[in-house]
Structure 1
Amino acid sequence: MSTESRIEAGNTSVTGSDNGNRSTLWKLWTNSWFQIILISFICFCCPGMYNALSGLGGSGQVDQTVAANANVALLSATAGTALFVVGPIFDRVGPRVCLLLGGWTYALYSGSLLCFNSTSNGAFVIAAGAILGVGASFLWVAQGAIMTTYVPESQKGRAIAVFWIIFNLGGGVGSLASFGLNYGSTTGTVNDGTYIALLVIMAFGWLLGSLICPPSYVRVAELQVTPESEKNWRQIARHSVKTLCHWQVLCMLPLFFSANVFYSYQQNAVNGMNFNIRTRSLNGALYWMAQMLGGLVMGSILDIPGLTRPMRARVAWVFLLVTGMAIWGGGYVFQKWSDARLLRGFKQDIDYTQGSISVGPMFLYIFYGAYDALWQSYCYWLIGAQSNSPAAAAVLVGAYKTFQSTGGAMSWRVNAVETPAMTQLAMNWGLCIGSLIIAIPTVLAITLTSEPAPSATDEKGYLESEGPQTEVVKS
């Protein structure tokens, strides 16, 4: 063989190897489960670390008023942008751009708390909270659309469970780090190192958003991508209104509204007012780790192989009702005990080493965390049961975040004006059970598949056909 021939053969071999490597990386990148895990780790770094902060009670500050008002600003901004601003933008630019637009705002918020430790500049914290509210809209709409449509219908419960485990591992790890950094603290506020560490992790999560795959590249047969010809503002607005005004969605709105109403009470009135700083950090870790278990349990219920999808929806609803009554009932007993202690002057004093008085309240806080995961996992599954279109899912997730944030802003404001803790508990309990009852028609209307009927021509796939969808179980 001549020298030229050998060189030519070698080049062909290298080129073939490069093509094979590129093909393997492409298949990995466009794999639906790789994308689910990737978005889970992005949320581990950004909202997961934010949860670690907020779970400390007052975001780790002695004065909880600034953090409560920052949360009002955050949730109000999210409520004002998630549905009618970010939802339509998602359909135009896709999930990657949305994540890059929103992710950096988490690091900004952590930086504002770092600044507050030195300057007591509450206005900056509140402004950063409002900016984070807009950024969170972009992140959560993209996350919800990915989680509810990038996998087949038979795997949506598992996708939600995997996401919830990894995402809340972020809150758990962040809270454990805070527990270690503040173990010997006697100041009642977390140190600068806590905020710096969380800021760095949040910034890394923002950069991971550049690896998210567009919907058109994902290899899932049931996924329904919006045609380019329909990506104009008029079509998007029409589709958004039609999606939102469907009666099944309207019955879900109270569920969405109630999804965050209990955070202010649990984090400030329960954790923030009763435990010292290191135990609040430990409770935060246990709270978010309990969410991992809650997400796994609800995801398992929603993917039980031997039950049809309508039956799984009903079993999960009953489970949510029964556990809710039990946990909030336990919360009522605790709150009576806590109110009596506060009247005697005991505040932020319980340490995890005081087993006689700490074990019961700490376990209640763990159950509160698990119930949050049960609730939100069920909401996301109901959203995923409406459509396999990322465009429709973005609208529904936008509605979810809008009403969730509206309820959250209301509850944080109720907390900021120092409403009695027992009143806050009664409000949360009533809203949760009442919204479950209102959602019954939607739960009973869940069909075997979200695939459009054969006569439907709309490629977006959201309930365009009259009557029930085709009753073919998809794997």
Structure 2
Amino acid sequence: MEDGNRVQETTGSMSSEPNARRSTLYQIYSNSWFQILLISFICFCCPGMYNALSGLGGSGQVNQAVAANAQVALLSATAGTALFVVGPIFNRVGPRVCLLIGGWTYPLYSGSLLCFNSTNNGAFVIAAGAILGIGASFLWVAQGAIMTTYVPESQKGRAIAVFWIIFNLGGGVGSLASFGLNYNSTSGTVSNGTYIALLILMAIGWLLGVFVCPPAAVRVKQLEATPEEEKNWKQTLLVSVRAIADWRVLCMVPLFFSANVFYSYQQNVVNGMTFNIRSRSLNGALYWIAQMLGGLIIGLILDLPGFSRPTRARIAWVFLFVTGMATWGGGLAFQKWFDERTARGLKQDIDYTDGSNSVGPIFLYIFYGAYDAFWQSFCYWLMGARSNSPAVTAVLVGAYKTFQSAGGAMAWRINAMGKPAMTQFAMDWGLCMGSLVIAIPTVLAVTLTSESDDDINAHRMSSDDEKPQAQLKE
């Protein structure tokens, strides 16, 4: 008997060790900040590398019209699917499936550009852009829901900052790699090796989506996972309509629309038509590195200690307005200089070593990158301030990507049509500052907590339902 007991004790202790290890690993895996880091690295590999390509101007091609039309196809597809297609699907299948559905479209797009280098098959690039637009909807809706709900309310600004730093590190590293690969290039297009390297990294990012944790397993008190009985199309559609019809969200729509509207001008005019290929690669790296710094700055502002959340919202709005006026004001001086050079037939000729001509435009491009981080981080934070529910936030992010893509598609189409650069610049400046003004009511309405009246009523109803059951048990 004693020997038997000893065997049982030994067996029990041996079996408990793997369970303990498994429990520790699961706690790390389901930790909210581990998930934030994971989605950040996924976006480092997929949209981060895509940004490295698009930041080269014309995706590294001499024929910028093909890349611009691919952008229009991409953004149009995103605008058509992000809100009422991907948002409801996310509520049914969760973030992991959405990331696996969307991630493979990124290496496909890089492969189409590799093919274009050899065959000049522009139709394949445009078709791949449209497919990527649908895939990007799935990826970004899942990313936005994770980033804005997987951490406590007091840490949302930091979560956005961490994501923005890692994500844009992808664009920075990819652009630096392109700079090295094309340092001695005189062809005006990037090498096949650039597209192959980016394709491999994008494929790795897609596979990392397997490790994303579902909302129900994340250990955050304020996280409101959707009950299984509410995962039906009727309830999902009702949640979507209620979330979008809110006047505070409607005031944010112009902010969403303007979030990518300046990319076509900045990437194809400021960088693509001003600098040679190696300098465009270097500028792309600086642009995304500036995004990292910009994300850190705005994240610290949005989580400022000692200030209430409504006060932080107002401070961030003033910061965006002041830095926006300063940055676009500098852009006006550049645009006048650019028009003078264009009239003399000068384009794509400035190298980063041409100190007198390159310093000003390079720094302007850096400030444009930082301001993009300010803008998009503020949009995500406002969405996170509306709800702690991944289902609701997925709908808001879907709306964000829909209107953001619609604005971007419009701007890329205007660029592809060859409209004057000054016209594009004026449109971008006006839309940015105007949308900030329209968003003032939403900023002023930010509350101390993301818990809405509907959430509170739902909690009260659920607690009232539990009371009779408890009494019956007694």
* Conserved 8 A contact 1:78-1:402: yes
Q: Paired residue for 1:254? A: 254
* Conserved 8 A contact 1:83-1:399: yes
How many angstroms apart in 2 are the aligned matches of 1:242 and 1:8?
Answer: 58
Q: Paired residue for 1:398? A: 398
* Conserved 8 A contact 2:255-2:432: yes
How many angstroms apart in 2 are the aligned matches of 1:111 and 1:193?
Answer: 11
How many angstroms apart in 2 are the aligned matches of 1:254 and 1:382?
Answer: 13
How many angstroms apart in 2 are the aligned matches of 1:431 and 1:159?
Answer: 28
Q: Paired residue for 1:321? A: 321
Alpha-carbon deviation of 1:11? 3.2
How many angstroms apart in 1 are the aligned matches of 2:4 and 2:132?
Answer: 61
Q: In the alignment, residue 450 of structure 1 is paired with which amino acid?
A: S
Partner SS, residue 456 of structure 2: coil
1:42-78 Cα offsets, whole Å, 9 max, x none, are 0000000000000000000011000000000000000
Distance 1:455 1:328, change over 3 A: closer
Q: In the alignment, residue 414 of structure 2 is paired with which amino acid?
A: V
Q: Paired residue for 1:310? A: 310
* Conserved 8 A contact 1:52-1:174: yes
1:361-397 Cα offsets, whole Å, 9 max, x none, are 0000000000000000000000000000000000000
How many angstroms apart in 2 are the aligned matches of 1:324 and 1:457?
Answer: 40
Alpha-carbon deviation of 1:343? 1.2
Q: Paired residue for 1:81? A: 81
How many angstroms apart in 2 are the aligned matches of 1:452 and 1:342?
Answer: 54
Q: Paired residue for 2:93? A: 93
Q: Does 1:381 align with 2:364?
A: no
1:374-426 Cα offsets, whole Å, 9 max, x none, are 00000000000000000000000000000000000000000000011011000
Q: Paired residue for 1:174? A: 174
* Conserved 8 A contact 1:78-1:133: yes
* Conserved 8 A contact 2:109-2:128: yes
* Conserved 8 A contact 1:86-1:137: yes
* Conserved 8 A contact 2:294-2:370: yes
Q: Does 1:241 align with 2:206?
A: no
* Conserved 8 A contact 2:172-2:286: yes
How many angstroms apart in 2 are the aligned matches of 1:121 and 1:15?
Answer: 59
Q: In the alignment, residue 123 of structure 2 is paired with which amino acid?
A: A
Q: Paired residue for 1:195? A: 195
Greater shift, 266-275 or 336-345, is seen at: 336-345
Map 1:183-222 onto structure 2 (within 5 A): 183-222=183-222
Q: Paired residue for 1:127? A: 127
Among all aligned residue pairs of Structure 1 and Structure 2, give the percentage whose two residues are the same amino acid.
Answer: 76
Which runs of 5 or more structure 2 residues have no equivalent in the other structure? Answer: 462-474
Greater shift, 379-388 or 9-18, is seen at: 9-18
Q: Paired residue for 1:364? A: 364
1:287-336 Cα offsets, whole Å, 9 max, x none, are 00000000000000000011100000000000000000000000000011
How many angstroms apart in 2 are the aligned matches of 1:108 and 1:455?
Answer: 41
Alpha-carbon deviation of 1:130? 0.1
Map 1:33-72 onto structure 2 (within 5 A): 33-72=33-72
CA RMSD of aligned residues (A): 1.5
Partner SS, residue 74 of structure 2: helix
Alpha-carbon deviation of 1:356? 1.1
Runs of 4 or more consecutive aligned structure 1 residues displaced over 6 Å after TM superposition: 1-6
Q: In the alignment, residue 217 of structure 2 is paired with which amino acid?
A: Y
Map 1:286-365 onto structure 2 (within 5 A): 286-365=286-365
Partner SS, residue 127 of structure 2: helix
Which runs of 5 or more structure 1 residues have no equivalent in the other structure? Answer: 462-475
Alpha-carbon deviation of 1:158? 0.2
Alpha-carbon deviation of 1:225? 1.1
Partner SS, residue 457 of structure 1: helix
1:131-151 Cα offsets, whole Å, 9 max, x none, are 000000000000000000000
* Conserved 8 A contact 1:49-1:170: yes
Q: In the alignment, residue 338 of structure 1 is paired with which amino acid?
A: F
Map 1:81-160 onto structure 2 (within 5 A): 81-160=81-160
Distance 1:25 1:422, change over 3 A: same
* Conserved 8 A contact 1:391-1:460: no
How many angstroms apart in 2 are the aligned matches of 1:283 and 1:29?
Answer: 37
Structure 1 length normalisation: TM-score? Answer: 0.95
1:330-365 Cα offsets, whole Å, 9 max, x none, are 000001101111111211010011111101100000
1:234-279 Cα offsets, whole Å, 9 max, x none, are 1110110111000000000000000000000000011000000000
1:15-50 Cα offsets, whole Å, 9 max, x none, are 111011100011001100000000000000000000
1:435-457 Cα offsets, whole Å, 9 max, x none, are 00000000000011112459833
* Conserved 8 A contact 2:385-2:449: yes
* Conserved 8 A contact 2:386-2:451: no
Alpha-carbon deviation of 1:9? 4.6
How many angstroms apart in 1 are the aligned matches of 2:284 and 2:104?
Answer: 23
How many angstroms apart in 2 are the aligned matches of 1:286 and 1:223?
Answer: 36
Q: Paired residue for 2:469? A: none
* Conserved 8 A contact 2:157-2:381: yes
Alpha-carbon deviation of 1:2? 8.5
How many angstroms apart in 2 are the aligned matches of 1:383 and 1:92?
Answer: 21
Q: How many residues align?
A: 461
* Conserved 8 A contact 1:253-1:400: yes
Q: Paired residue for 2:412? A: 412
* Conserved 8 A contact 1:226-1:460: no
1:191-232 Cα offsets, whole Å, 9 max, x none, are 000000000000000000000000000000001111111111
* Conserved 8 A contact 1:224-1:459: no
How many angstroms apart in 2 are the aligned matches of 1:199 and 1:395?
Answer: 30
Q: Paired residue for 1:465? A: none
Greater shift, 126-135 or 11-20, is seen at: 11-20
* Conserved 8 A contact 2:386-2:452: no
* Conserved 8 A contact 2:164-2:373: yes
Q: In the alignment, residue 92 of structure 1 is paired with which amino acid?
A: R
Q: In the alignment, residue 53 of structure 2 is paired with which amino acid?
A: L
Distance 1:266 1:201, change over 3 A: same
Distance 1:373 1:405, change over 3 A: same
Q: In the alignment, residue 152 of structure 1 is paired with which amino acid?
A: P
How many angstroms apart in 1 are the aligned matches of 2:114 and 2:11?
Answer: 55
Q: In the alignment, residue 210 of structure 2 is paired with which amino acid?
A: S
Alpha-carbon deviation of 1:8? 4.8
